[in-house]
Amino acid sequence: MEELDGEPAVTVIPGVNSKKNQMCFDWGPGEMLVCETSFSKKEKSEMVPSCPFIYIIRKDVDVYSQILRKLFNESHGIFLGLQRIDEELTGKSRKSQLVRVSKNYRSVIRACMEEMHQVAIAAKDPASGRQFSSQVSILSAMELIWNLCEILFIEVAPAGHLLLHLLDWVRLHVCEVDSLSADVLGSENPSNHDSFWNLPGNTQTLTELELKWQHWHEECERYLQDSTFATNPHLESLLKIMLGDEAALLEQKELLSNWYHFLVTRLLYSNPTVKPIDLHYYAQSSLDLFLGGESSPEPLDNILLAAFEFDIHQVIKECSIALSNWWFVAHLTDLLDHCKLLQSHNLYFGSNMREFLLLEYASGLFAHPSLWQLGVDYFDYCPKLGRVSLELHIERIPLNTEQKALKVLRICEQRQMTEQVRSICKILAMKAVRNNRLGSALSWSIRAKDAAFATLVSDRFLRDYCERGCFSDLDLIDNLGPAMMLSDRLTFLGKYREFHRMYGEKRFADAASLLLSLMTSGIAPRSFWMTLLTDALPLLEQKQVIFSAEQTYELMQCLEDLTSRRPVRGESDIQQLQDEDIETTKVEMLRLALARNLARAIIREGSLEGS
């Protein structure tokens, strides 16, 4: 049967009385909903006073922190740069690039830390001041861990350099180390450390260094044996320290702020050319010695230990537990993956872990009204599930403004997410129709390639025209272009407007042909034919003959078609009778006009043929 690692942690929702009621839960796109309820479906409630509150819960609250935002924004740029590093690069140049990326990330963390520190100091009330301070210490811990990972995993400092780096590392994070150095430097020992570490020039090999150090170490030992400094206990303890005597070091515990400070100091004096693989022995014992059985290791200690043991996965796992958001593990894992470290551990899911963490981080970003844009890029670099995750998330972004909608659409179009484009355009078209912005609705339905909706909107346009006698959004309709073909009704709308334009430009013959073709081709909806025929009236009444005889016959056909199909009305009220009257009058007028036109057309055509 399944075993659990321990009790899952618990979040308490205040005000929900668990003794009496159950908890109802639902997912929002970004948040979660929780409320008190009773699931057993009885008609009468049990008269238990119920809680009318609904709690909206969010994970990833850090996304909303103003200062952390800078961290997210700037690291996003570094992330992208890292993804684009040429895969062809190998060896030293690649490594130096990766180290540079790591340093960039760290400087961003430090900048954030600085800012938060300023805010903490300036905070008006002590509670928020404390909160900010704790955030600062969390960021500091993050930088500490990252720095160590950089030294061990990315820089892969070899013996010799390793200790230098570790010295820098400790120095950066622990101010007190300086005082200890001063002590040591002030000793009477001729070989001070500065000349020892003449490495920048790299003039000494590791063996030379080891030899030198051995010699110096023996010299110190001799002094101790000879009790040269027996009279001065202070100097003698210093000597012991320089020989790496742990007990002596521990006596100065107050000067050593933590065990890794102790570790590095110890290494400095007992084994400065320590090899990376030997680090963990010293690390574990340093931790044990320093804590002295008085306290147990904290999460940070475990993380650092795991790093010293080169157990990358453990580092990531422990960081995930200890930290409150995915930022750190996602970016660090990604960088380590680029160093080809996750695969080298030969664990099946190395690359998947990177993606797993990036997906979690990016999903969290989508909960934020503007940071979601960063999330898009992260999804782009998740080859397995990035695309589908993006599809699911991007549809849920509220499209409050046209600008935002266009932004979202552009992102979808760039990635050929046609389904999402269609869906979003449909939503916007529907919104526009409800707000009576027909032009906007039409352009959205065209963009969505939604024929049905385009038909609906075109119908509205035509209805509007019938009621008001003019078109709205002429610009749009005039410039439909090939989009006109999307739906028959839309084509009709476009062509009908073209008819009006031609008429306005006095291109009567063209207008007439177009008008006729609209009916004969079947594009025009039957309900509109009367309007079209009425439009033909002025053309029929012109001095010159516009419609040819044949065209006139066709018009007559259309009219008869239309009138014969009209449903027989039963008992009608006065309004309907009046409408009928108007209809009948119109038809009579048309018949007359058509007949007259026919006569004139026949005469004209007959004459022309003759001459």
Partner 1 sequence: MREAVLTWCVPLELLCSHPLPVSAFLKTQVKLYTYRACAGKDEMGKMVSVINTVDTSHEDMIHDAQMDYYGTRLATCSSDRSVKIFDVRNGGQILIADLRGHEGPVWQVAWAHPMYGNILASCSYDRKVIIWREENGTWEKSHEHAGHDSSVNSVCWAPHDYGLILACGSSDGAISLLTYTGEGQWEVKKINNAHTIGCNAVSWAPAVVPGSLIDQPSGQKPNYIKRFASGGCDNLIKLWKEEEDGQWKEEQKLEAHSDWVRDVAWAPSIGLPTSTIASCSQDGRVFIWTCDDASGNTWSPKLLHKFNDVVWHVSWSITANILAVSGGDNKVTLWKESVDGQWVCISDVNKGQGSVSASVTEGQQNEQ
Asked if 378 and 361 count as a contact pair (C-beta separation under 8 A), the reply is yes
Burial 503-541 (b: 16+ CB within 10 A, else e): beeeebbbbbbbbbbbbeeebbeeebbbebbebbeebbe
According to the binding rule CB under 8 A, does residue 10 interact with partner 1? yes
Q: Minimum Å distance from CB 473 to partner 1?
A: 21
Asked if 546 and 598 count as a contact pair (C-beta separation under 8 A), the reply is no
Which residue number, 64 or 583, has a Cβ lying nearer to partner 1?
64
- Judged by CB under 8 A, the chain residues 547 through 606 that form the site for partner 1 are none
Nearest 10 degrees: Cα torsion 417, 420, 426, 427: -140
Q: Minimum Å distance from CB 349 to partner 1?
A: 4
According to the binding rule CB under 8 A, does residue 353 interact with partner 1? yes
| Cβ atoms < 10 Å from Cβ of 580 | 13
Of 15, 77, 158, 186, which one interacts with partner 1 (CB under 8 A)? 15
According to the binding rule CB under 8 A, does residue 36 interact with partner 1? yes
Q: Minimum Å distance from CB 504 to partner 1?
A: 32
According to the binding rule CB under 8 A, does residue 300 interact with partner 1? no
According to the binding rule CB under 8 A, does residue 5 interact with partner 1? yes
Asked if 546 and 602 count as a contact pair (C-beta separation under 8 A), the reply is no
Q: Minimum Å distance from CB 490 to partner 1?
A: 12
Which residue number, 9 or 470, has a Cβ lying nearer to partner 1?
9
Asked if 170 and 260 count as a contact pair (C-beta separation under 8 A), the reply is yes
- Judged by CB under 8 A, the chain residues 359 through 378 that form the site for partner 1 are 363
Q: Minimum Å distance from CB 283 to partner 1?
A: 15
| Cβ atoms < 10 Å from Cβ of 430 | 15
According to the binding rule CB under 8 A, does residue 138 interact with partner 1? no
Taking Cα atoms as reference points, which of 38, 30, 18, 37 lies closest to residue 56?
Answer: 30
- Judged by CB under 8 A, the chain residues 312 through 341 that form the site for partner 1 are 313-314, 317, 320-322, 324-326
Which residue number, 55 or 213, has a Cβ lying nearer to partner 1?
55
According to the binding rule CB under 8 A, does residue 118 interact with partner 1? no
Q: Minimum Å distance from CB 48 to partner 1?
A: 8
Q: Which span sits near partner 1 by CB under 8 A: 43-51, 147-155, 190-198, 457-465? A: 43-51
Asked if 557 and 594 count as a contact pair (C-beta separation under 8 A), the reply is no
Which residue number, 160 or 386, has a Cβ lying nearer to partner 1?
386
Q: Return the sign of the alpha-carbon dihedral for residues 152, 158, 161, 164.
A: positive
Asked if 451 and 466 count as a contact pair (C-beta separation under 8 A), the reply is no
According to the binding rule CB under 8 A, does residue 449 interact with partner 1? yes
Taking Cα atoms as reference points, which of 355, 345, 349, 335 lies closest to residue 155?
Answer: 335
- Judged by CB under 8 A, the chain residues 460 through 499 that form the site for partner 1 are 486
- Judged by CB under 8 A, the chain residues 393 through 412 that form the site for partner 1 are 393, 395-399
Tokens of 193: 């450390």
CA 18 to chain centre: 37
Which residue number, 319 or 539, has a Cβ lying nearer to partner 1?
319
Q: How far is CA 398 from CA 27, 370, 403, 438, in A?
A: 16, 11, 12, 21
Which residue number, 37 or 472, has a Cβ lying nearer to partner 1?
37
Q: Which span sits near partner 1 by CB under 8 A: 39-47, 82-90, 176-184, 330-338? A: 39-47
Count CA atoms closer than 13 A to 524's CA, side-chain side.
22
Which residue number, 33 or 474, has a Cβ lying nearer to partner 1?
33
Q: How far is CA 488 from CA 95, 171, 482, 484, 491, in A?
A: 62, 76, 12, 8, 5
Which residue number, 162 or 417, has a Cβ lying nearer to partner 1?
417
According to the binding rule CB under 8 A, does residue 458 interact with partner 1? no
Number of residues that bind partner 1 (CB under 8 A): 91
According to the binding rule CB under 8 A, does residue 358 interact with partner 1? no
DSSP 507: -
Q: Minimum Å distance from CB 28 to partner 1?
A: 3
Per DSSP, the residues of 172-223 read HH-TTHHHHHHHHHTSS-SS-HHHH--GGGT-S-HHHHHHHHHHHHHHHHHH
Burial 284-318 (b: 16+ CB within 10 A, else e): eebbebbeeeeeeeeebbbbbbbbbbbebbebbeb
According to the binding rule CB under 8 A, does residue 298 interact with partner 1? no
Q: Which span sits near partner 1 by CB under 8 A: 342-350, 517-525, 557-565, 569-577? A: 342-350
Of 61, 230, 582, 599, which one interacts with partner 1 (CB under 8 A)? 61
According to the binding rule CB under 8 A, does residue 209 interact with partner 1? no
According to the binding rule CB under 8 A, does residue 21 interact with partner 1? yes
Of 29, 77, 186, 522, which one interacts with partner 1 (CB under 8 A)? 29
Tokens of 280: 């963990």
According to the binding rule CB under 8 A, does residue 33 interact with partner 1? yes
* Coil, strand or helix at 36: strand
Q: Which span sits near partner 1 by CB under 8 A: 37-45, 162-170, 174-182, 191-199? A: 37-45
Which residue number, 45 or 295, has a Cβ lying nearer to partner 1?
45
* Coil, strand or helix at 610: helix
Which residue number, 412 or 515, has a Cβ lying nearer to partner 1?
412
